[in-house]
Amino acid sequence: MSGIVEFQDVSKNFAQRKAVDTVNLKIESGEIFGLVGPNGAGKTTTMRMLVTLLEPDQGEILVNGHSTRRDPQKVRKLIGFMPDSFGVYGDMSVHEYLEFFAACYHIPALERPALIHDLLELVDISHRRDDMVDTLSTGLKQRLGLARVLIHDPQILVLDEPASGLDPRARVEIRELLLEVARLGKTILFSSHILADVAELCTRVGIMENGRLAAVGTLDQLSQNVVPHRLIHIAMIERTDEAQLFLTRFDGVSAVRMDKTANHNGRGVIEVDFNGADAAVHKLLAALLAQGYAVIHFSEESKNLEEVFMRTTKGIVS
């Protein structure tokens, strides 16, 4: 993969507040990159600078080698942007809405019918082509917005909170649609407050707080950085206190404690911080069984983006 978007020491100020503070980021071609962070973290400002709606106060943003400062027109041809609000075109039909934007992008009139047909098929709203935009549900408006973003066949899609306000079914459908678009070879950058969607979709994640990128990487990389050990839960029929002492002496165990928030069928759960590969985890269980401990539950807690997010951010907004 080759780099297609690059932020170089990018900052943006509003009055006395630094909304974006010295951001350095490289997004590879074909990635689905998720930007997450608390309200006021700088996500929307970062995206608006990328799509040339705002200009950085310091630094440079390059899109396929073109500067957003010096070559904004070239950048706009490469990017499709969907903001977090739909717009003011409710008195158009779905077909008229896409026809209007096709004309804005100077797509020849003879090419527009086939293009609009294909886009409506892609986002699965062909059956609503003659309906007024105002009559569409939030989920269908998001689908239409995605069709509009694709109208000029951009290389990069920038989506600000694409799942905001959607019910669970519509969220799943939008998520599947974004995966389908990614399979067409598009690079996608999107922001979201819905961490489960980000974890499900993204090849990499950037966590923003207070205008800065606090962490960037795959979910596995971020998890390893903030929770470097494996977390194992063990429950047994009896001899729990004795088992805790035994576990503290096992190679690779850094901490042993009772998990006060969990139980297994009414029995206490031992929580173990463990540093070791899969084979070492197997040896740990085998050692417990060899000592005659009646283990009835043994599992490793999977690390999720929510845990990574909470450990990475401090909840500070300037």
Determine the distance from the C-alpha atom of residue 146 to the mean position of all C-alpha atoms in its chain, rounded to a whole number.
17
pLDDT, position 52:
96
Query: Angle at Cα 14 formed by Cα 32 and Cα 74, nearest 5°?
Result: 45
Q: How many angstroms separate the CA atoms of 172 and 188, rounded? A: 17
pLDDT, position 1:
47
Residue-wise burial string across 90-110, b where 16 or more C-beta atoms lie within 10 A, e elsewhere: eeebbbbbbbebbeeeebeee
What are the pLDDT digits (tens) for 223-237?
777 666 788 999 999
Positions in the chain short of pLDDT 70: 1-2, 88, 226-228, 302-304, 314-318
Structure tokens at 297: 């539950």
Q: How many angstroms separate the CA atoms of 310 and 222, rounded? A: 12
Give the H/E segment covering residue 46. Answer: helix 43-50
pLDDT, position 88:
66
pLDDT, position 4:
94
Q: How many angstroms separate the CA atoms of 145 and 97, rounded? A: 10
Taking alpha carbons only, the member of 193, 25, 161 closest to residue 178 is: 161
How do beta strands 156-160 and 187-191 pair? parallel
What are the pLDDT digits (tens) for 82-91?
988 777 688 8
Q: Give the relative orientation of helices 168-183 and 112-122 as an angle to the nearest 10 degrees.
A: 130
Taking alpha carbons only, the member of 174, 84, 96, 82 closest to residue 134 is: 96
Check: CB of residue 146 under 8 Å from CB of residue 80. Answer: no
pLDDT, position 102:
95
Q: How many angstroms separate the CA atoms of 155 and 39, rounded? A: 28
Report CA torsion sign: 275, 279, 281, 283. negative
